[in-house]
Amino acid sequence: MSIEVFRDAWGIPHLRASDPLELARAQGRVTAHDRAWQLEVERHRAEGTTAAFLGTAETGWDAFARQARLADTARRCHARLDAETAAWVAAYAAGVDEGLAEGARRAPEFARTGLVPGRWEPWTPLAVWLSTHILFAGFPTKLWRDRVARLLGEEWTELFATDGPGTAGSNGWVVAGSRTASGAPIVAGDPHRFIEAPGVYQQIRLSCPEFDVLGLAVPGVPGLAHFGHTGTVAWAITNAMADYQDLYRERLRRLPDGRIEALGPDGWEPAAAHTETIPVRDADSVSVTVIETARGPVIAGADAPAHAPTGGPADTPAGDDARDGVWDGVWDGVWDGVWEAVSLRHPPRVTGDLGFAALPALLRAREVADVDRALDGWVEPVNVVQAADTAGGLLHRVAGRVPVRDRANRLRVVPAWDARHAWGPDPEPMPRAAVGEYAVMANERGPAAPLGVEFAPAHRARRISALLDTSDTWTPGAMTAIHTDTDNPSAARLLAAVRETDPAALSPAARAVRDRLLGWDRRMAADSTDAGLYAAVRGAVVRGLTAHPAFAALRGPRPDPYPELFAPWLALGARVAFAVETLLVTGPVPAPDVARIVREALEETGAGDPPPTWGTTHRLAPWQALPDPDDTWPGLGGDHDCVLSTSSVPGFTDRGARASAARFVWDLADRDRSLWVVPFGASGIPGTAHHRDQLPHWLRGDLVPVTTDWAHLVPEEDHDDQH
């Protein structure tokens, strides 16, 4: 069977094969050719073996991956695949294996670390998908809410909700043909994630007699799960912000023969337990205890503390009513030999289904009804999906699996022994919404509202809608003005507080800061000194609120057993930074103190050196498994709640860790008029022509053209980018 590989001007691979299996094999092989280092990092992350070549800093992740049983869950889900999907995934994994040796020879990271490429099992792509998305829904937020309830008070449990404001999030919009110049729909958007180098999305085209699809693939996973254009139908997603992962507070005990039991709704029951060893580069290996109860794998507190109490009857959970599922953080000597832990329950582990059958079905889609049917089998992550086809069909729905259970499960860590917190047998129905002239999705409360607790504020969704209202002749090229919009609606509350500050009570320097802010156009442009000034004042306000006595209990050392991996979700400063818009008008900090903090922030900023332009401090900070000390990263425009959503942690760092992982415009009138861009390039290999050739365009907000005419593509063997 024949396989052909072509490249366009950006080094993007276009694959042509005689059938879907050969095409999947080719996708795996070309991905290994372009992204060998990235693929092997992802495989090791899924298997919990990254410390073996990256060192001690990765032991926390490796322990979590093993305790959460990511690889075992992938094997379980793979075993339940239908034969056709299993063969398709296996073909991709085989292609990766075929290309890894050559890809590794070209990637200098292998030599730097001594890593030898390993084998990709048929289930490895499922493990990569799980590893990539296991923290996507943010279940550690429930640990934070428990901490707030215990230390600040039950009434403040949802005070720091991401609605006010949220962290960076994805944007998407579908415009009906009645509002476009061509008369055909347009689907556009940009997924915002933690930026990784190489990028988390891979531009690629997959063509065979059954289908011809281009889009954004996740390296290590076959097909085009999130963003694709088949020529007659196109689709895109954003995170629905649904809550579908639960944390249970477990009571565990070890029997004299070494077996572990957990307290369930019907009493003590067996729990599976074993020990695994994490190899660590240039250090001693680390042993990790892996326990799984009837709820799920234990991800915190698997080992009994050395100072576990004695003295109480083992079967008497005395004193629990007062605690009601909240971790005390200290041993209170309630009963003998019992310790507490936290387990994770999520749909793929429970059902053995990761929804992978939807992936090949999407490739075969011809109209929105096909996309709709394919997504009925989607599992994780839970997404809001938009699609359009050449016949004018439009789709706006939620896809995924959300368990039916008590609302408390969505909010907090719940007691494992209380039957009220068990899951129902069937999942929640997936909502959908009608599409008029256009529809917008930006992680806000929308169709997915019944499925979640915390959503992004409506700022981005409202701003995109307002921009779409400015024209009824939209073209693909005009959409870049939406992608790059830097208006910052969330600044309004802080600016209102600044306006309410009596200028007579300020020093001349602080008064000048106040006047400049009140004349600012609210745009977070990279070259704006006023945006830099706003960021400086906001940072000082965040630090002032964080230091307020009302939050003293949350500032102390964490008295809980949670791994350091979850520290970002438990850091007070970051929580205040993301919720400052809310905390200015509500919360435990009295209004006069809020006014004082704003006034002091103006004084602090006025007394210091003039803040530089926003892009001087708001610089790109991508995650790299093996950072290059010679890398220098550019400044960014945008902010959390701009459509150009670029996130930092105000008050603590302006470095931008989250931003657009890709931008795209799918034109249903002519696929070759579609546009796209990624932060870096098609190649993951340093020094090659297409390693970072798209970065300047991404920074400017430009999009590069989609090319599908085979006559305008160059055969792989003739391409001069990276050999």
Confidence at residue 556, expressed as pLDDT on a 0 to 100 scale:
76
**For the whole model, what pTM was predicted?**
0.95
Helix/strand/coil for 482: helix
The per-residue pLDDT for 168 is 52
> Is CATH 3.40.50.970 the right assignment for the domain spanning 171-191+226-243+350-475?
no
**Structure token digits, residue 546:** 């964080």
What lies within 8 Å, CB to CB, of 676 at 6+ separation is 203, 216, 662, 663, 664, 665, 703, 704, 706
Short-list 648, 657, 656, CA closest to 539: 648
Torsions phi, psi of 270, nearest 5? -65, 145
Per-residue confidence (pLDDT) for residue 557, from 0 to 100: 75
- Quick one: pLDDT at residue 508? 98
3-134+662-718 and 171-191+226-243+350-475: identical CATH topology: no
CB distance 244 to 403 below 8 Å: yes
pLDDT at 30 (0 to 100): 98
The DSSP secondary structure of 546-593, one letter per residue, reads: HTSGGGHHHHS---S---GGGHHHH-HHHHHHHHHHHHTTSSSS-HHH
Q: Give residue 592's pLDDT.
A: 98
H runs (alpha helix) in 19-82: 20-47, 51-54, 59-67, 70-79
Beta bridge partners of 681: none
Query: Rounded to an integer, what distance in angstroms lies between the CA atom of residue 128 and that of residue 28?
Result: 13
- Phi and psi at residue 395, in whole multiples of 5°? -140, 140
Whole-angstrom Cα distance, residue 512 to residue 514?
A: 5
pLDDT value, residue 334: 37
565 vs 288, 571, 660, CA distance in Å?
Answer: 15, 12, 24
CA angle 70, 113, 566 (to 5 degrees): 40
Measured between alpha carbons, how far is 23 from 91 in angstroms, rounded to an integer? 8
Helix, strand or coil for residue 287? strand
Pick the CATH number of 3-134+662-718 from 1.25.40.80, 1.25.40.10, 1.10.439.10, 3.40.50.150: 1.10.439.10
Domain segments of the chain as ranges: 3-134+662-718, 171-191+226-243+350-475, 246-345, 486-656
* CATH number for domain 246-345, candidates 3.30.420.40, 2.30.120.10, 3.30.70.260, 3.40.50.11540: 2.30.120.10
Instruction: Find, among 604, 607, 482, 533, the residue nearest to 186 by Cα.
Output: 482
d(CA 527, CA 635): 9
- Mean pLDDT of residues grouped by 10 in the chain (723 residues)? 91 98 98 98 98 98 98 98 98 98 97 97 98 94 94 92 58 98 98 95 98 98 98 97 97 96 98 98 97 98 71 40 39 65 98 98 98 98 98 98 97 97 97 97 96 94 98 98 97 98 98 98 98 98 98 83 91 94 96 98 97 97 92 95 95 95 98 98 97 98 97 85 47
Q: What is the pLDDT of residue 721?
A: 54
Q: Which among 614, 610, 585, 654 is positioned nearest to 522, based on CA atoms?
A: 614
